[in-house]
Chain A
Amino acid sequence: MVGGGVIQQILRRKLHSQSLATPVLSWFASKKVNEDAGSSGVRALALLGAGVTGLFSFSTVASADEAEHGLACPDYPWPHDGILSSYDHASIRRGHQVYQQVCASCHSMSLISYRDLVGVAYTEEEAKAMAAEIEVVDGPNDEGEMFTRPGKLSDRLPQPYANESAARFANGGAYPPDLSLITKARHNGQNYVFALLTGYRDPPAGISIREGLHYNPYFPGGAIAMPKMLNDEAVEYEDGVPATEAQMGKDVVSFLSWAAEPEMEERKLMGFKWIFLLSLALLQAAYYRRLKWSVLKSRKLVLDVVN
């Protein structure tokens, strides 16, 4: 009872300073004075007070989660955003070049085949030539042995490591994730990957990263195993576009977006077409329904008064 009164007093002071519903509080206070058995009102008020103090303390805890969630990445204006926008296919081609020369040494893309690139970023001859550069284990042959052969269009993009354990062993325990679906596998994936790749910065004062890790504010926790890979002029583009860090980031994210969602262009066309047609169908259906129901909706009932 005493505790309830103390909480009530604290709450009165808090609410008073915030100029909230003090009449409500005085009503509660009068209720307590009037009936001693009305402890349910005080209990409700105590719960409210506890909830409010809990809310205040939560705000200080939330700031410690900042580094845990990573810095929020901004929204960049991707050329393939927009209801009828296609991919920038020249960007996909450059992005594949960046992936091949910079990322493929550690990251696999085991869901993409060389034939997927035909008509998107390369011609069939170019894709065949690219596939032929890699060695693929095939077999068994007639003698029962596995053999290696040059790659074909139907082969998947080569994997840098035989399995996850080998990948972890070569990278200090960290597994470079497969990039086939990465822009769908991370929240706000396209913007996140671009921000991550171009966002390597010095850590804030007071934060020290252990040897072997690198600071990246966008990475949850802040300490990422991957070093900064995109540096100016790291790649020489075939089409002569200057390979700045931001350009390479943009191109590689375009490539990764396509890899994760190759059906995007067809999906947008289909969506636009069908949403338009179904809207017309909706109008027609609405009209037809109202037409059929008009008989009932416009009927009149006459009450016969019996004298």
Chain B
Amino acid sequence: MADDEVVDPKKYLEESCNPKCVKPLLEYQACVKRIQGDDSGQKHCTGQYFDYWQCIDKCVSFSWIMAFALHIFFFFLQFDTEMNLDFGIFRLHPSYLQN
């Protein structure tokens, strides 16, 4: 293998999405601070935690969709230049290629 250290793409995307989700992260950290002194065990920050991770998840899945779409787009772009369909009656080929 070329690289010995594998980078988990999901973790990488989650880290790169961090700047987009600063606001829910700050809300979560504010909540953590608020409940620090609590001993009753009833207070928790699940709401803010969920908001933050929902933001990250949305960003990650969007990045993946974009990466997937770009991959498909470039796949077909490369394919197009080699495709010359000849139906016998007419030729269908990329007109920008000068054969």
A304 within 8 A of B: no
Q: Chain A residues near B7 (CB, 8 Å)? A: 244
A76 within 8 A of B: yes
Q: Chain A residues near B46 (CB, 8 Å)? A: 66-67, 204, 206-207, 222
- Report the separation of the CA atoms of residues A63 and B68 in the bound assembly, to the nearest whole angstrom: 34
Given A232-B8, A243-B6, A246-B9, does the pair A204, B28 have CB atoms closer than 8 Å? yes
* Cβ of A15 to closest chain B Cβ, rounded Å: 29
Q: Chain A residues near B36 (CB, 8 Å)? A: 205
Q: Chain A residues near B48 (CB, 8 Å)? A: 204
Interface string of A141-176 (1 = CB under 8 A from B): 000000000000000000000000000000000000
- Report the separation of the CA atoms of residues A74 and B57 in the bound assembly, to the nearest whole angstrom: 6
* Cβ of A277 to closest chain B Cβ, rounded Å: 24
Task: Give 3 nearest A-B pairs by CB, closest first.
Answer: A206-B44, A204-B49, A74-B61
**Residue in chain A with minimal CB distance to B3:** A242
Q: Chain A residues near B49 (CB, 8 Å)? A: 204-205, 217
Binding site for B on A (CB under 8 A): 63, 66-67, 71-77, 195, 198, 201, 204-208, 217, 222, 232-233, 240, 242-247, 249
Contacting A205 at CB < 8 Å: which of B3, B11, B44?
B44
Interface string of B1-34 (1 = CB under 8 A from A): 1010011111100000000000000001001100
Given A74-B60, A75-B61, A204-B44, does the pair A244, B38 have CB atoms closer than 8 Å? no
Q: Chain B residues near A195 (CB, 8 Å)? A: 57
Q: Chain B residues near A204 (CB, 8 Å)? A: 28, 44-46, 48-49
B38 touches A206 (CB 8 A): yes
Given A74-B60, A76-B61, does the pair A205, B10 have CB atoms closer than 8 Å? no
Task: Give the dominant DSSP class at B's interface.
Answer: helix
Which of B44, B49, B58, B64 gathers the greatest number of chain A CB atoms within 10 Å? B49
Q: A71-B50, A204-B46 are in contact. List 10 more A-B contacts (CB 8 A).
A: A66-B47, A67-B50, A77-B64, A198-B10, A205-B45, A206-B43, A207-B44, A242-B3, A247-B9, A249-B10
B28 touches A76 (CB 8 A): no
B50 touches A66 (CB 8 A): yes
Q: Chain A residues near B92 (CB, 8 Å)? A: none
Given A205-B35, A206-B38, A217-B49, does the pair A244, B57 have CB atoms closer than 8 Å? no
- Report the separation of the CA atoms of residues A38 and B29 in the bound assembly, to the nearest whole angstrom: 55
Q: Chain A residues near B53 (CB, 8 Å)? A: 71, 201, 217
* Cβ of A172 to closest chain B Cβ, rounded Å: 23
A244 touches B43 (CB 8 A): no
A72 touches B6 (CB 8 A): no
- Report the separation of the CA atoms of residues A163 and B1 in the bound assembly, to the nearest whole angstrom: 42
Which of A75, A206, A246 gathers the greatest number of chain B CB atoms within 10 Å? A206
* Cβ of A78 to closest chain B Cβ, rounded Å: 9
Q: Chain A residues near B41 (CB, 8 Å)? A: 206, 208
- Report the separation of the CA atoms of residues A208 and B35 in the bound assembly, to the nearest whole angstrom: 14
Given A63-B47, A66-B46, A217-B50, does the pair A244, B31 have CB atoms closer than 8 Å? no
* Cβ of A239 to closest chain B Cβ, rounded Å: 12
* Cβ of A229 to closest chain B Cβ, rounded Å: 15
- Report the separation of the CA atoms of residues A249 and B10 in the bound assembly, to the nearest whole angstrom: 10
Given A66-B47, A71-B53, does the pair A77, B8 have CB atoms closer than 8 Å? no
Q: Chain A residues near B11 (CB, 8 Å)? A: 245-246
- Report the separation of the CA atoms of residues A247 and B11 in the bound assembly, to the nearest whole angstrom: 12
Q: Chain A residues near B57 (CB, 8 Å)? A: 71, 73-74, 195
B54 within 8 A of A: yes
**Residue in chain B with minimal CB distance to A198:** B10
